[in-house]
Structure 1
Amino acid sequence: MRFSVTVVATDAGPPLVDVARAVEERGLDGLWLPDHTHMPVSRSVPYPTGGDLPERYKRNLDPVTGLALAAAVTRRIRVGTGVLLPAQRDPMVTARALATLDQQSGGRVVVGAGYGWNVEEMADHGVDPARRRSRTREHVLAMRRLWEDEVASFAGPHVSFRPSWSWPKPVQRPLPVLLGGSPSRTLCSHVAEYGDGWIPLGPRALEEGVGAVRDAVATAGRDPSALEIVPFLGPGVSQRRWDRCVAGGATELAVDVPHDDSLFDTLDVLGDAVAAWRL
């Protein structure tokens, strides 16, 4: 069982190179960073978990650049986007950046991808919120072609490019893509078509949705036991919560930690708890 951390890293917190080193030194297995290009001041859709928008989401760092810094000063931990918003990104540019990161890190990248929730953010990118799921699907499929084909091409309503060379290729074949979100019919079908796993939010979402995700994968003729299941968990140490996730089929647990002066003490506590739980 892998244990990793999710961090909404900001310009006000400790340097990411120090964070990454601390994660690896404490025996943890990965670092995940989220993706928002900007945060419009006014929003018609509330923050998904309720309450006011946390200050950290107004200042978060770019995940791909941040993970490159993290990978450069570590040798073992995986570095993941948690989650990337492919619909809002140019797939050719993003595919090259992620392939470069995987190739240069020796195959340590995992791509968490999501559909997004902030409709104003999407609109500023020219993305129709009603079509963000189909756009996400197509952008990831296009990136897969660039990662996996010597001569890649793609044609679709959202993205199209002529036969092209694109290097480097990722070390991992395929580069793992895990879809995040509630287990809707669309998400299940997308995992079955082009995903290598699923990122639920918390143990309850895992327990309620893992059967539907696995059934969709099996129906598509793929092996559901090969899926990565990585629930993102709230802050704090809870071995009971960890046990629930393991029983629900999790392959990795990702715990939210703060990106402020308390970070390193938090990692000390988490690292010790994980070591004890593994005994």
Structure 2
Amino acid sequence: MRLGITMFTTDRTMPVHDLAREAEDRGFASLYIPEHTHIPVSRRTPPPTGVEVLPEEYGRTPDPFVALAAAAALTGTIRLGTGVCLPAQRDPIVTAKAVATLDRVSGGRFTLGVGYGWNAEEAADHGVPWKRRRAMTREHVLAMRELWEREEASFAGEFVAFEACWSWPKPAGRVPVLLGGAAGPTLFSHIAEYGDGWMPIGGAGLREALPALREACAAAGREGVEVVPFGTLPTPGKLDHYAGLGVTEVVLRVPAGDREAVLPVLDDYAGAYL
């Protein structure tokens, strides 16, 4: 079972390219970083973690594609991904180009982790109708897939439409798309339709959820969909549990800090679990 890491990266934490190099040197398989384009000062939407005040770090995340491109230039084997990107808040044509370029720069090492978003104010600034954000995310990913995989791509949907066009470079290979979110029929139907896997936060309740995911995938004629527990705080028993469920990758959480805070945790994880 592969082990990756994720950190809530900001302009005040260990730089992404430095973190990627250190993680690769220790044998970790992947690095995922989050995305927020901006954070409105208004707090009509409660913080997702249940705290009273939203931590400042949410408004300080770097652009994931730029940061991961720097990481790609300094590494050779570690997979690089978003955990998670918010496609509904991005132009799909521009984002498809960024993803394809990053995948080629990295030699086919990019994974697109996708989320629907939790911050209604942030989404509103991008013109995202809140109750339709899942449908918009779906269309944006499907449109990007067309641009990645077809010589002449076109798309006609509710939120995205473009006539036959050329868009190069193409990715080095198929870009895996992992969907984040809580277990449920809507998420599982989307994974079965256009995703390559599920990124459940932490992984609690995984055993109970897997039959429904597999049923949704089977109904869509899909096999081999990955499950990647994300942001996990590891214990030997927890990792053994995931391995027993057929999980092939777990992404471990490291603290959002500088080298002095992060490297000892990487060393501890590597020594205990790799």
* 2:7 and 2:254 in contact (8 A); partners too: yes
Structure 1 pair 42/234, CA: closer, same or farther in 2 (3 Å)? Answer: farther
Match of 2:29 in 1: 29
Structure 1 unmatched ranges of 5 or more: none
| Aligned residue runs from structure 1 range 16-95, under 5 A | 16-51=16-51, 52-95=53-96
* 2:203 and 2:232 in contact (8 A); partners too: no
Cα drift, residue 251 of structure 1: 1.5
Match of 2:242 in 1: 245
* 2:17 and 2:68 in contact (8 A); partners too: no
Q: Distance in 1 between matches of 2:241 and 2:119?
A: 30
* Helix, strand or coil at the partner of 2:179: strand
- Deviations 1:81-134 (CA, angstroms, capped at 9, x unpaired): 111100000000000000011112111011110111100000010101100000
Count of aligned pairs: 271
Match of 2:154 in 1: 153
* 1:203 and 1:244 in contact (8 A); partners too: no
| Aligned residue runs from structure 1 range 161-172, under 5 A | 161-172=162-173
Match of 2:268 in 1: 269
Q: Distance in 2 between matches of 1:16 and 1:6?
A: 10
- Deviations 1:54-92 (CA, angstroms, capped at 9, x unpaired): 332121111111111111100000001111100000000
Amino acid at match of 1:222: R
- Report the RMSD for the aligned CA atoms in angstroms: 1.2
Cα drift, residue 48 of structure 1: 2.1
Match of 2:227 in 1: 229
Q: Distance in 1 between matches of 2:160 and 2:147?
A: 13
Q: Distance in 2 between matches of 1:271 and 1:194?
A: 34
Match of 1:123 in 2: 124
Match of 2:108 in 1: 107
- Deviations 1:11-66 (CA, angstroms, capped at 9, x unpaired): 11122221111000111111001111011122222222311323321211111111
Q: Distance in 1 between matches of 2:230 and 2:238?
A: 11
Amino acid at match of 2:267: D
Q: Distance in 2 between matches of 1:57 and 1:183?
A: 24
Amino acid at match of 2:228: V
Cα drift, residue 248 of structure 1: 2.7
**Length-normalised TM-score, structure 2:** 0.95
Amino acid at match of 1:103: R
Mapped pair 1:137 → 2:138: yes
Structure 2 unmatched ranges of 5 or more: none
* 2:229 and 2:250 in contact (8 A); partners too: yes
Cα drift, residue 259 of structure 1: 2.9
Match of 1:15 in 2: 15
* Helix, strand or coil at the partner of 1:137: helix
Cα drift, residue 234 of structure 1: 3.7
Q: Distance in 1 between matches of 2:215 and 2:169?
A: 35
**Length-normalised TM-score, structure 1:** 0.94
* 1:87 and 1:132 in contact (8 A); partners too: yes
Bigger Cα displacement from structure 2, 107-116 vs 257-266:
257-266
Q: Distance in 1 between matches of 2:167 and 2:2?
A: 32
* 1:203 and 1:241 in contact (8 A); partners too: no
Q: How many percent of aligned residue pairs carry the same amino acid?
A: 55
Cα drift, residue 7 of structure 1: 1.2
Match of 2:206 in 1: 206
